[in-house]
Amino acid sequence: MKKGKFIVLEGPDRCGKSTQAKMLYNQLVARGKEVLLTREPGGTPTAERIRQIVLEPGLDVRPLAELLLYEASRAQHTQEKLLPALEEGKTVICERYTMSTCAYQGYGRGIPLETIGVLNQIATQDLKPDLTLVFLMSDKYFTERGEYLFSDRLEQEDLAFRQKMRQGYLEMIERTPNAYLINADKNISDIQARVLQLLEEHRIID
């Protein structure tokens, strides 16, 4: 039985969610919680191998294969790591989960959301986040932040792709229970304060 809380951090590339995930991890550990910080694609040895394939720049990965690779990573990660940690009562912080697949492969690549919904349900065994925080920033920050970052295969997609995804994230926030938009244009400590406030409101921390 799931005893722990499952927190998912979502958003486009370079939105600052990894920084916030680490800060949140430190905050929760400092409050005495047992915490697992993990990510998708990846999070287990097998899923990290799948991650290498799906993100390799220049590799020919067709949209359907791409979708199935993300779902394969998710199935492995959910069974091997997420469900056991939640059963042990740990608080789990996961960078990206099912919403990323809808945003990138659904809104971005145009694969029907119903198809993705079915695969997500199978891969997750119906595990749903208790809280989803979606970090969205203006596109100018994507370009600025990209100047000093390595680009993986998905980050090389163009502005139109990113705009479709952004719109997708906004629509999903509206229809997903316990999902919130976080303004990622703000400074790091303001963003962190908002994250902690939402955790309090959801009684994940006191």
From the CB of 16, what's the least distance to ligand TMP, in Å? 11
Structure tokens at 26: 């430190």
From the CB of 95, what's the least distance to ligand TMP, in Å? 6
Residue linked to tokens 């932040």: 145
Residue linked to tokens 């809280």: 131
Residue 89 vs 110, nearer CB to ligand TMP: 110
Find, among 184, 203, 158, 149, the residue nearest to 7 by Cα: 203
Residue 91 vs 98, nearer CB to ligand TMP: 98
Q: Are strands 6-10 and 91-95 parallel, antiparallel or unpaired?
A: parallel
Q: Which helix (H) or strand (E) holds 124?
A: helix 113-124
From the CB of 40, what's the least distance to ligand TMP, in Å? 4
Structure tokens at 143: 């370009």
Structure tokens at 153: 């295969």
| Residues at the contact surface with ligand TMP, assessed by CB under 6 A | 13, 39-41, 55, 70, 96, 100-101, 104-105, 152, 154-155
Residue 91 vs 100, nearer CB to ligand TMP: 100
From the CB of 116, what's the least distance to ligand TMP, in Å? 9
Residue 38 vs 105, nearer CB to ligand TMP: 105
